[in-house]
């Protein structure tokens, strides 16, 4: 199967699983569940769950139910977008070409929808049917640490807010992105590995892959904000610069940022060498992350 076909098929399985996980819009409180579904089904690329599923498949062929665990990561990602977009934080009206959650449902509902998605992510992992409690508890610990305030996503969000208008230094840039996007992407890969029973060495290789791919993802994200048109990207472009955010192009320039992304892509692939042919899809995902146009 070609990578593009595989990607479409795997995404479809994740969409189906997400539909099963999210409470129906007819379940009270209806408007909250509508808000949660509005943001989860807003055309995300599902990169994190894809990474989770493929990391698991590298370790074992017996990973029935892995999509459900992978969706937990996507729920955390979606919650973070909803809260980031709030007026008190990034104050974004559009994301992926659609109005942001608070623009449609109001601030109160957007705050609560984010809270509910974060909570649901842990409920999903706690109750996974196909994996033992030891692995479930470990996956929850991974997710919480990656989403948390000590080097995790929330730490990155605070550093990002505090960094606005500060000098674009490489050290600050790395600190922000290692936490803000890197930690959850790394955790996506590790959660897949844990689900499939990876040993310490395998988990270390997956972590290295996750770190490189996470950094590559962020560099490309920053570049797309500069280079892509608003139409392609579905959100206002050039906003990072307008807000004086610390970005890779701001620190290194566009050409050097492209080179850095390429270097991270190669390093990510290199981390997979110990897995041989079994890691083909994971390697292709690294390419996809770097060569995407939106």
Q: Tell me how far, at minimum, the Cβ of 194 lies from its own copies, in Å.
A: 12
State the DSSP code for 89: T
| Residue 89 neighbours by CB under 8 Å, 6+ apart | 83, 157, 161
| Binding status of residue 75 toward its own copies by CB under 8 A | no
Q: Which one of residues 1, 5, 61, 150 is an interface residue with its own copies (CB under 8 A)? A: 150
Would you count residue 157 as binding its own copies (CB under 8 A)?
A: yes
What is the C-alpha to C-alpha distance for residues 246 and 244, in angstroms, rounded to an integer?
6
CB of 247 closer than 8 Å to CB of 238: no
Under rule CB under 8 A, which residues in 160-219 are in contact with its own copies? 161-162
The stretch among 41-49, 111-119, 165-173, 209-217 that binds its own copies (CB under 8 A) is 111-119
For residues 226 and 249, is the Cβ–Cβ distance under 8 A? yes
Nearer to its own copies (CB atom), residue 123 or residue 259: 123
Selected binder of its own copies within 20, 106, 170, 253 (CB under 8 A)? 106
| CA dihedral of residues 173, 178, 180, 186 (deg, nearest 10) | 160
Q: What is the largest CA-CA distance in the chain?
A: 51
Binders of its own copies in range 224-283 (CB under 8 A): none
Q: Which two tokens stand for residue 31?
A: 């408007």
Distance CA 269, CA 264 (A): 9
d(CA 248, CA 176): 11
Q: Which of 21, 63, 109, 219 binds its own copies (CB under 8 A)?
A: 109
Among residues 152, 172, 174, 154, the alpha carbon closest in space to that of 164 is found at: 172
Least distance to its own copies, CB of residue 52, Å: 17
Which parts of 7-26 interact with its own copies (CB under 8 A)? Answer: 23
Part of the chain binding its own copies (CB under 8 A), chosen from 58-66, 122-130, 188-196, 240-248: 122-130
Binding residues vs its own copies (CB under 8 A): 23, 27-29, 31-33, 36, 79, 83, 86, 88-89, 106-109, 111-112, 114-116, 118-120, 122-123, 125-127, 132-134, 136-138, 140-141, 143-145, 147-150, 152, 154-155, 157-159, 161-162
């Amino acid at each position: 199967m070609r990578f593009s076909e595989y990607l479409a098929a795997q995404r479809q399985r994740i969409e189906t699983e997400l539909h099963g996980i999210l409470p129906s819009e007819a379940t009270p409180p209806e408007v909250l569940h509508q808000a949660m579904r509005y943001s989860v089904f807003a055309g995300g690329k599902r990169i994190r769950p894809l990474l989770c599923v493929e990391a698991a498949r590298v370790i074992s062929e017996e990973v029935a139910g892995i999509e459900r665990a992978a969706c937990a990561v996507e729920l955390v990602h979606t919650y973070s977008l909803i809260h980031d977009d709030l007026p008190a934080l990034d104050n974004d009206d559009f994301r992926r070409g659609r109005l942001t959650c608070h623009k449609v449902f109001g601030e109160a509902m957007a705050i609560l929808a984010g809270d509910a998605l974060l909570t649901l992510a842990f409920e999903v992992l706690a109750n996974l049917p196909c994996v033992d409690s030891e692995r479930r508890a470990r996956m929850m610990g991974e997710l919480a640490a990656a989403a948390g305030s000590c080097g995790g996503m929330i730490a990155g969000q605070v550093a990002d807010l505090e960094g606005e208008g500060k000098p674009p230094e490489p050290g600050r840039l790395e600190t922000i992105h290692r936490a803000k996007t890197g930690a959850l992407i790394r955790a996506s890969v590790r959660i897949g590995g844990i689900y499939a029973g990876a040993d310490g060495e395998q988990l270390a290789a997956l972590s290295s892959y996750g770190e490189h791919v996470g950094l590559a993802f962020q560099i490309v994200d920053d570049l797309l904000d500069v280079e892509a048109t608003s139409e392609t990207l579905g959100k206002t472009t050039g906003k990072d610069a307008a807000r004086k955010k610390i970005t890779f192009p701001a620190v290194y320039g566009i050409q050097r940022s492209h080179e850095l992304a390429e270097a991270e892509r190669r390093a990510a692939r290199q981390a997979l060498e110990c897995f041989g042919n079994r890691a083909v899809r994971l390697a292709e995902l690294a390419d996809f992350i770097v060569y995407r146009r939106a």
